[in-house]
Amino acid sequence: MVLMRTHIGQVLRGARISQKRTLREVAKAARVSLGYLSEVERGQKEASSELLNSICLALNLSLSNVISSVAHQIYLEEAPQLTVVDTNAA
Amino acid sequence: MVLMRTHIGQVLRGARISQKRTLREVAKAARVSLGYLSEVERGQKEASSELLNSICLALNLSLSNVISSVAHQIYLEEAPQLTVVDTNAA
């Protein structure tokens, strides 16, 4: 099942890693606990809208950019899988 | 403050209204309570990822389309306000 929180977590984690920042640094900047941020990144917890804003701010990302990336990732996961058709099959 | 849940609610409500369906019909199709759907639509409750999927399915919308619309609405709200400059002011 395609879950929004999975993709939000992946986008936030990707941004943090590309900025070479630790969970501890970003959690402190966002004023959330390290455990909370870790669970959000792993898609195990739904981020509240307020804390999502705090995390985006800590990562210097606009919320619209993050949500736009999430929409794109979901779109790719929703897209029908390519089916390999074996034309030699009886 | 720009809040994701506000925009998710607006997009879902807009889709339901454009389909001329009642809260009761969509809540039943999505297997959520009428009160829950109403709160989500008014941006008063964060929809869990699972129930957001159910509501999208009930509205015959893809999750990626909904989230893409949400991203666009947030972008518009984030955009700097136009400032009217009074060039006649002293």
Q: Tell me the whole-structure pTM to 2 decimals.
A: 0.87
Residue ranges in chain A modelled with pLDDT below 70: 81-90
CA distance B30 to B33: 9
Domain ranges in chain A?
Answer: 4-77
Within 8 A of A52 by CB-CB distance, chain B residues are 4
pLDDT digits (tens, 9 = 90+) for B81-90: 556 666 666 5
What is the DSSP-derived secondary structure letter of residue A45? S
pLDDT 10s digits, B17-54: 999 999 999 999 999 999 999 999 999 999 999 999 99
Return the residue of A nearest to B50 by Cα: A3
Of A5, A62, A71, the CB nearest to B78: A62
Candidates B82, B58, B52, B54; CA nearest to B70 is B52
- Of all residues in chain A, what percent carry a pLDDT higher than 70? 89
Convert the pLDDT of each residue in A48-74 to its tens digit: 999 999 999 999 999 999 999 999 999
- The minimal CB distance from B49 to the residues A4, A53, A68 is found for A4
For residue B32, give every residue at least 6 positions away whose Cβ sits within 8 Å of its Cβ, in sequence order, or none.
B51, B54, B55
In CATH terms, the fold of domain A4-77 is: 434 Repressor (Amino-terminal Domain) (1.10.260)
Under CATH, what is the fold of the domain B4-78?
434 Repressor (Amino-terminal Domain) (1.10.260)
Residue A79 is predicted with a pLDDT of 81
Give the model's pLDDT for residue A83.
60
Amino acid at B23: L
